[in-house]
């Protein structure tokens, strides 16, 4: 059994997920780097982590598929013998960014499978693995971190499926937090704001303007490292009397202003 705590980070071959995986590795976590279609960036991240003295493995899997979710958990346990942290980061934007009146069932199913159903059932399976490990004192406790979005409460009428899936993640976090507290597992939701990533690259010019105009009190783009540091904070023992908490990493965007 591996001596360091182990984290599985979904969708971590690039963007926010890669930032989270790298930061966890710097804080002495072994990391399972999950990718779906990007093996090369995942391999490069694993190599980077190992070059810095850490331990990592790249695991292929689509979180929207049950058999892939099972494989991600089983391969993490086979590699390291433990699982301390799950970071549900994998997510996709709304295909085609269609208006509410033009949204399709196909788009809805695709977004919900990846952004809500997959994270819920992966968290369920991770908890089922963590509970006996805690009971056997092989790990001290477990943590599940759900990476949501300000789109959980900020309307984008051209991304209804994405917004509704992210809104559902708060209730998912609360449900898991309430159920798993007695088991020694804490659950958190992190809501990134406008973060520089592949997902926001197509709308870079729009957000450059909005940020300059004061979209958030802190007038800059968020970086994957900003989200990563929040993840490290909640998986550490810095907040032992919290669970089910939403943490905004958005430059203050969530503050209502007149």
Which residues are annotated as catalytic?
162
Phi, psi of 109 (to 5 degrees): -60, -40
Torsion of CA 243, 252, 233, 229, to 10 degrees: 140
Torsion of CA 179, 248, 42, 63, to 10 degrees: 40
Rounded to an integer, what is the distance from CA 214 to the centroid of its chain? 27
């Amino acid at each position: 059994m591996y001596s360091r705590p182990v984290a599985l980070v979904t969708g971590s071959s690039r963007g926010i997920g890669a930032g989270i995986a790298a930061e966890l590795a710097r804080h002495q976590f072994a990391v399972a780097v999950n990718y779906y279609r990007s093996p090369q960036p995942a391999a490069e991240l694993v190599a980077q982590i190992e070059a810095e003295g850490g331990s990592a493995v790249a695991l292929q899997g689509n979180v929207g598929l049950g058999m892939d979710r099972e494989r991600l958990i089983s391969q993490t346990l086979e590699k390291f013998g433990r699982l301390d942290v799950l970071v549900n980061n994998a997510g996709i934007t709304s295909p085609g960014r269609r208006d509410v009146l033009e949204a399709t069932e196909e788009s809805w199913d695709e977004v919900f499978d990846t952004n809500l159903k997959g994270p819920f059932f992966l968290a369920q399976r991770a908890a089922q693995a963590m509970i006996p490990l805690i009971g056997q004192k092989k790990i001290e406790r477990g943590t599940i971190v759900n990476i949501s979005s300000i789109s959980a409460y900020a309307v984008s009428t051209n991304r209804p499926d994405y917004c509704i899936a992210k809104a559902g993640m708060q209730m998912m976090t609360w449900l898991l937090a309430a159920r798993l507290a007695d088991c020694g597992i804490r659950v958190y939701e992190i809501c990134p704001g406008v973060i520089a990533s592949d997902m926001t690259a197509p709308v870079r010019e729009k957000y450059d303007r909005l940020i300059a105009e004061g979209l958030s009190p802190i007038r800059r783009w968020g970086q994957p490292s900003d989200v990563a540091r929040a993840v490290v904070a909640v998986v550490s023992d810095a907040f032992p009397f919290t669970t089910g908490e939403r943490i905004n990493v958005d430059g203050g965007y969530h503050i209502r202003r007149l």
